Structure 1
Amino acid sequence: MPTVRSAARALAQGGLGLVLLTAGTGHLTTLRREFQAQVPPWVPLDPDLVVVASGVVELALGGALLLAWRGPARPLAGAAAAVFFVAVLPGNVSQLVTRTDAFGLDSDTARAVRLLFQPVLVAWALWPTGAWRAARSWWARRGPA
């Protein structure tokens, strides 16, 4: 019988998977221009290519979180999602620094508050999947350097 904690982890993992699938779909369809506004001007790639590529990655991560429900790939899926959330942080910082309006974020305060949620997304990826626990266990097995 599942514990409350394991049920909460499963719901959190499934919820994040759905969020990523929704965001990935938005990258490729109706929210494409909004996401293009977040691509930092210093990125030497076409903003549409960046948006499409990140949308495909989000779809893959969302699918992995939903499919890797309990198997050994579960921590890997969580770690990959956490890395993705760190990788897109420069786009969110750029949106604040360049004062670019997108997704209804039309003030510096709104854009700054959004940045506070990036660590929440990273934790959301690591906790339910056991990625943090798996990483600690791996480092412990390696022993001192």
Structure 2
Amino acid sequence: MLFAAFGHLTFQRAEFQAQVPDWIPLSKDVVVILSGIVEFILGLGMVFWVKAKVWVGIALAIFYVLIFPGNIAQYINGTDAFGLDTDRARLLRLFFQLLLILWALWSSGALKILIERSKK
């Protein structure tokens, strides 16, 4: 997350802008900067905020859900970014988002807690 945040704010800014859907009512650069700041905060939270790691993991999973429309827009519009220069690559990226969501929940311990609560 920290590396992605750094990329949002510096050398990958144009790549991230390519994923922002046209229907978002803000400039693509503003969206990329704001999402980079959120990623930076969530990344720091995952590393340093141990007592709230479960909540940070849930917030990160929600963040991944919220940015998913960007991945869909990239697929639908056929936008090349991050080396995703074929429809097949862009389609596979959509499924990768689910893995990111699960990873955020698992790595924070939230997945275990959510599973335990669902058994009750």
TM-score interval (norm. to shorter): over 0.9
Equivalent in the alignment of 2:58: 79
What is the deviation of 1:140? 7.2
Distance 2:49 2:8 in 1: 23
Q: Which residue of 2 aligns with 1:37?
A: 18
Give the corresponding residue for 1:90.
69
Question: In 2, Cα distance between the equivalents of 1:140 and 1:115?
Answer: 29
Match of 2:40 in 1: 59
Matched, 1:130 2:104: no
Task: Name the Cα RMSD after superposition.
Answer: 1.5
Q: CA deviation at 1:98?
A: 0.4
- Identity, % of aligned pairs? 47
Counterpart residue number, 2:85: 106
Structure 2: gaps spanning 5 or more residues: none
Counterparts in 2 of 1:13-28, with a 5 A limit?
Answer: 20-28=1-9
Please identify runs of 4+ aligned residues in structure 1 that moved more than 2 A. 132-141
TM-score (norm 1): 0.77
Shift of 1:137: 5.3
Q: Does 1:120 align with 2:99?
A: yes
The gaps in structure 1 that reach 5 residues or longer are 1-19
CA distance in 2, matches of 1:140, 1:106: 43
Rounded Cα–Cα distance in structure 1 between residues aligned with 2:118 and 2:27: 39
SS of 1:41's partner is coil
SS at the partner of 1:117?
A: helix
When Rg is computed on C-alpha atoms for both structures, the one with the higher figure is 1
Amino acid at match of 2:35: S
Shift of 1:128: 2.1
Give the C-alpha shift of residue 131 in structure 1: 1.2
